[in-house]
A and B are shown apart, each in its own frame.
Chain A
Amino acid sequence: MLHARQDLPGDFWGKSSKSWLFLILLFIASFGFYSNVFNWIPRWRQREVSQSCEAHHLQGQRESPPLSKGDCCPDTCRVPRVPRMLYPKAHVLQPPRVDVLLMTPWFAPIIWDGTYDSAILDAQFRNTTIGLTVFAIKKYVVFLKLFLETAEKYFMVGHRVIYYILTDRPADVPQIPLQEGRRVVILKVRNYTRWQDVVLHRMEMISNFSQQRFLHEVDYLVSADVDMKFSDHVGVEILSSLFGTLHPGFYASDRQRFTYERRPLSQAYIPEDEGDFYYAAALYGGSVAEVYRLATACHQATLIDKANGIEAVWHEESHLNKYLLYHKPTKVLSPEYVWDERMLRKPPYLRRLRYVAVPKNHAQIRSR
């Protein structure tokens, strides 16, 4: 490329303007080349995709189903396509249930039997992977067998599931035959002497693992207590950006009777004139991003409380309730989804019991 020398201001290189143009074009081309190269690497692309949907999620957080978004899940990114299906038509003037509230004032559906069509929902959630996290610390490993066996029968049947068992005794985790598309991942965690500490640190562990692992492996996370069993269908009708479950002991109570933390010193404090529902810590979840935020927030609150020398009255459940008061869940599960048959009489509007407590000896199980 031979050009006549031209006088340019600050003429360092001594090249003509055409060479400059060539250089600039080459720079832009190499920049484009590099960005494409990084895209070819699958992990980067996956992270990009999850982060762009993260942005969508954060933006459209409060909507119906409210507070959605984050990872590329049906709630935020694309409207899922369903195939041709035949089912009875819903009637606009005839709600399926009139005995119970079906939707919160912020448009979160309250999931009761008879309000949803499993066929449509399964089609909408067909490419979804669900992670089920369960803690089995010290003697609680004895509950795993029944938990996993019943989960195989009732939990997200027909969908891809990863069971995350967080335990301090990996050798004691039973081997359960699993259906197609389901697997168990055992994560070793530390234990604590006091059972209250075990419970309080669950949020920390979920927060850590969400970032390290869950974000890349599953779309939705469900956190469940281990000393329970599944007794009826628990499916994709529960999935949304953030969901909580109505505690079976308080769904009919006034907000003043909720066992929120009532001491203002605690981070979990909720005054008497606030509160929508009392949520149970036994079953909650959402998209990985939202569960991460929830777990991180609750863990931070626990640390602040510890520094102030106070422990919330119901430990992680108190912090969970505080969080869900100010970050309204996008779906609320009825007490069908967490029940205790021995302690409560089943009312007529509770048509199914899906996830129930297993009898246990508190003193014995919580000891070393």
Chain B
Amino acid sequence: MRRHRLAIGLGVCLLVGTVLCTLWVYVEDWLPVSYVPYYLPCPEILSRYPQPKLLEQRPTELLTLTPWLAPIVSEGTFNAELLQHIYQPLNLTIGLTVFAVGKYTHFVQHFLESAELFFMHGYRVCYYVFTDDPTAIPQVPLGPGRRLGIIPIQRHSRWEEISTRRMEIISQHIAKRAHREVDYLFCVDVDMVFRNPWGPETLGDLVAAIHPGYYAVPRQQFPYERRHVSTAFVADGEGDFYYGGAVFGGRVANVYEFTRGCHMAILADKANGIMAAWQEESHLNRRFISHKPSKVLSPEYLWDDRKRQPPSLKLIRFSTLDKDTSWLRS
């Protein structure tokens, strides 16, 4: 009798399992493509922007499109209000990672305060601060829908080591946590400050920023890694732009793939006993040649305040803080 009951029990379980699976498969069948209502109920908002002018003369302008048709974002190329109306209803959460290791924790206060003013205003934001000293991270008042996550990491003796570990840490963090919490993720340096609005115009599948020091020079002068033995090697005739390692981002899945790819390349170099000329920035540049970004941010989004602002850059949004690097890295 015992065995019969066991058999019946097993049979019931299998039957229930089958029914659930079949139901799941066919429920998906009932909804092949979800139908989005097409006529928005608020035409008066959309009418307030001027008609785009197709034929116009623009003498001094930044490039607006890369050769693979990725937009280059700069002031004047987009209508912020229109983008707001497009992105706001999507209920997006945007993540922002920074590394504050050792003395770099001093920058967090200023960074977060400026981010609160200018970064993705009106959206849900998750700040991820990676630090070796969680107690040194100050309490900064955050707006509604914005929160801060402090993630402890291990400190290394050499600052280059800390720098190259960032890719690994970001990819692991995405796999463990960020993929569930955010839709888009940006990875930036902490020793910087937001000076003007940074909004949904920066959102894209995979986003890179042009380095402020090299946007006007030919590719032979880019500080790519030039030693053949490195995985970050870039030959003389290759390269689109020199991207800054201080800003990159995109959809969280793509950022995961990107950081993992860079991390693997860094590991390969480590096994060969070599470190790239500009650490992970070299690897980032190597990867962006073969996996071209879908959106590029002009140097407005990554500026060096020590440089004179040219007329082609109208609005600096994110730039360096003057600092004494020797003291910081000691």
Contact = CB atoms under 8 A, between A and B. Distances in A.
A85 B16 CA distance: 56
Which residue of B18, B36, B293 has the most chain A CB atoms within 10 A of its CB atom? Answer: B36
A3 B205 CA distance: 58
Nearest to B292: A82
Contacts of A297: 38
Contacts of B70: 64
Given A62-B90, A92-B210, A252 B54 contact: yes
B183 interface: yes
Contacts of A254: 51
A4 interface: no
B68 A31 contact: no
Contacts of A289: 33
A19 B215 CA distance: 70
A297 B39 CA distance: 9
A13 interface: yes
Interface string A98-113: 1111111111011100
B291 A79 contact: yes
Interface in B133-174: none
A294 B34 CA distance: 12
Interface residues of B, number: 87
Contacts of A300: 38
A315 to B, nearest CB: 18
Contacts of B183: 59-60
A107 B33 contact: no
Contacts of B201: 107
A56 B183 CA distance: 10
Contacts of B21: 31, 34-35, 38
A282 B78 CA distance: 28
B35 A65 contact: no
Nearest to A41: B25
Interface in B49-96: 49, 51-73, 77-79, 82-83, 86-87, 90
A14 interface: yes
Given A60-B251, A100-B55, A107-B71, A326 B40 contact: yes
A109 B78 CA distance: 12
A60 B205 contact: yes
A84 interface: yes
Nearest to A276: B52
Contacts of A90: 63, 66-67, 240-241
Interface in A128-185: none
B318 to A, nearest CB: 17
B52 A65 contact: no
Given A54-B33, A94-B63, A121-B69, A64 B295 contact: yes
A116 interface: yes
Contacts of B56: 99-101
Interface stretch (A22-30, A306-314, A355-363): A22-30
A251 interface: yes
A34 B17 contact: yes
Nearest to B87: A62
Contacts of A246: 54
Nearest to B86: A62
A62 B203 CA distance: 9
Contacts of A230: none
A79 B252 CA distance: 12
B164 to A, nearest CB: 22
B228 interface: no
Nearest to B38: A297
Contacts of A215: 32-33
Given A23-B13, A107-B78, A211-B32, A326 B71 contact: no
Given A92-B241, A116-B68, A289-B33, A327 B57 contact: no
Interface in B287-312: 290-295, 298, 312
Most buried by B among A62, A211, A267, A349: A62
A86 to B, nearest CB: 5
Contacts of B219: 89
A101 B34 CA distance: 34
A13 B25 contact: no
The 9 closest A-B pairs by CB, nearest first: A117-B67, A105-B79, A62-B86, A297-B38, A27-B13, A34-B21, A107-B71, A30-B17, A92-B215
Interface of A: 13-15, 19, 23, 26-27, 30-31, 34-35, 38, 44, 47, 51, 54, 56, 58-66, 68, 75-76, 78-87, 89-96, 98-107, 109-111, 115-117, 120-121, 124, 211, 215, 237, 246, 251-252, 254-255, 267, 271, 273-277, 289, 292-293, 296-297, 300-301, 322-323, 325-328, 331, 349
23 contacts: A26-B13, A31-B17, A31-B20, A63-B295, A81-B290, A86-B237, A90-B63, A90-B240, A95-B61, A105-B49, A106-B79, A107-B201, A111-B69, A115-B67, A121-B69, A215-B32, A215-B33, A271-B47, A277-B54, A293-B33, A301-B39, A322-B39, A326-B39
